[in-house]
Chains A and B, each alone.
Chain A
């Protein structure tokens, strides 16, 4: 079914649909498992800026018409139509809609007395909507179901603390943005991840999980900066989720500046984040780098951060933490991406055996527009402890 964007009737329908979806998503309608961005596409797909393929200035979430075209024409093994609903419907230019759905199977072995864990579960069910309000203002919202280990139907009010909200509906991101042009300055206010780091899709990576960017830890922010072809800057003041108190309790500031070079094939970024939470202040300095070697179809990528931890309690003193990831993505043929990452999270720089080391192999296959199959093998080795082994397979479809 094709809906004409020129007829008055469908226009009203689209307007009502857009506003309705935004309203539903804004109060937390459907979940969210991961922030969806593939930083591996930067430079390897011909795009140097995240916001060539995403509406978010820093990448992730709903993709643009450019991104949809690239998915069908360049990134998938057997092409297809990357447009919304495979091109079956054409929302008006002021409305963008999308969705992400993931199912996964997992084997996790952590030398637990009960043996390995096997699980098959819905990993993500998100809907996205973006509505343009005039030339420079837009409203964006994502909504879905959040994962929950505890059974919310437990009738017994057990133990000390109760979940503060039993609803599994959540809006992981929603914001109002001013952006006159894709290239140039922007400002936005709302809930999202402050632009920082490699922004890998896998929230379990240490540079996400241990730096304040784990699952559902999106903060409420006032953010701004600029995006140019050869550089971008993002400055963010962030605060905890004051609506439902889900996620991080940190508040503070984050800054990220990226400079691109190597004839559009590489970038180097510096970043800093100051976060206050009960009992501790974290000051993080880091750098992020990428370089694409086209002849070898190889993207080198890495991030390293040092976090100075200052504790409120007298006598604890200042400590320093190291978190980093380095690796490469290899794109042997169209639609296939292999990523190998080595990671380290050292709780304290002065204590050698306070570290977690991880090795991760990601195999992403994009067989046809809108579809993705991913296999992830991950080994995590804590100093002096048992190695955890994880194998995850997931199927991803986006609208």
Chain B
């Protein structure tokens, strides 16, 4: 009881701050926000994978958001390119517009769904708290990368310093540099189909916006 009381009091006291010290990183967002809210047994769990989306762990969740592929009817599709005949039609696998558009939260369908803006509300039973949605937006604004970078570490605290700049634990420097080594986004973050290798080239890491608010993101 004492532990709980102390935690509650501490929580209320600490909760008075309006800044968000959490890292805008998928390694946080997936287990703390997406998995408990989206990966319920009859929705985007491994068992149900509704709409082909599985948020049951960070890897599957990231692929679901950034590497959406769909099977569509293509009369010109051939077996040689992996198409499949079914019910008298030919279905081919094509890359679909991903649910996130790196660096552009306003154009990211997942954000529109979280805010129910011209899209079905997700989660359908309970909207997410504003701070959690803003964190997702910040992650997208920073490039929607799979791995934490120094620039993702935290939102500005009053003076604008990030957690990393203020002494927080930075992520691996190699992540910030990008695994491509040429200034392009790391292949690890590329839009990768689970059954396919390779992926699209990403946008430059340099020039990412650090810790910007959702208001800025929404323009």
Contact = CB atoms under 8 A, between A and B. Distances in A.
Contacts of B147: 313
B87 A155 contact: yes
B50 to A, nearest CB: 5
Interface string B13-57: 011111011110101101111011000111101111111111011
Given A112-B121, A215-B41, A316-B148, A161 B47 contact: no
A319 B153 CA distance: 13
Contacts of A385: 127-130, 133
Given A245-B47, A347-B129, A382-B130, A112 B124 contact: yes
Interface in A116-146: 117, 146
A114 interface: yes
B68 interface: yes
B89 to A, nearest CB: 9
A295 interface: no
B125 A161 contact: no
B128 to A, nearest CB: 6
Interface stretch (B102-110, B163-171, B177-185): B163-171
Interface centre among B18, B23, B68, B117 (most CB of A within 10 A): B23
A204 B194 CA distance: 32
B57 to A, nearest CB: 4
B127 A159 contact: no
A24 to B, nearest CB: 21
Contacts of B49: 150, 160-164
Nearest to A383: B129
A322 B118 CA distance: 32
Nearest to B63: A160
A117 B124 contact: yes
Contacts, number: 258
Interface in A267-311: 268, 270, 277-280, 285-287, 289, 304-306, 309, 311
A244 interface: yes
Query: What is the interface of chain A mostly: helix, strand, loop, or mixed?
Result: loop
A313 B27 contact: yes
Contacts of A92: none
B48 A249 contact: no
Contact of A279 (B10, B40, B57): B57
A346 interface: yes
Contacts of B25: 313, 315-316
Interface stretch (A180-188, A226-234, A329-337, A353-361): A353-361
Contacts of B41: 146, 214-217, 246-247
Nearest to B118: A113
A93 interface: no
A160 B86 contact: no
Given A309-B32, A355-B15, 10 more contacts: A110-B124, A113-B116, A150-B48, A150-B51, A214-B41, A246-B45, A320-B11, A322-B8, A350-B14, A382-B127
10 contacts: A150-B51, A247-B45, A280-B31, A305-B4, A315-B153, A315-B172, A316-B23, A320-B11, A350-B15, A380-B127
Interface of B: 1, 3-4, 7-8, 10-11, 14-18, 20-23, 25, 27-28, 30-33, 35-36, 40-43, 45-54, 56-60, 63-64, 67-71, 84, 86-87, 91, 96, 116-121, 124-133, 147-148, 150, 153, 164, 168-172, 193-194
- CB-CB nearest 4 A-B residue pairs: A159-B52, A384-B130, A313-B27, A280-B31
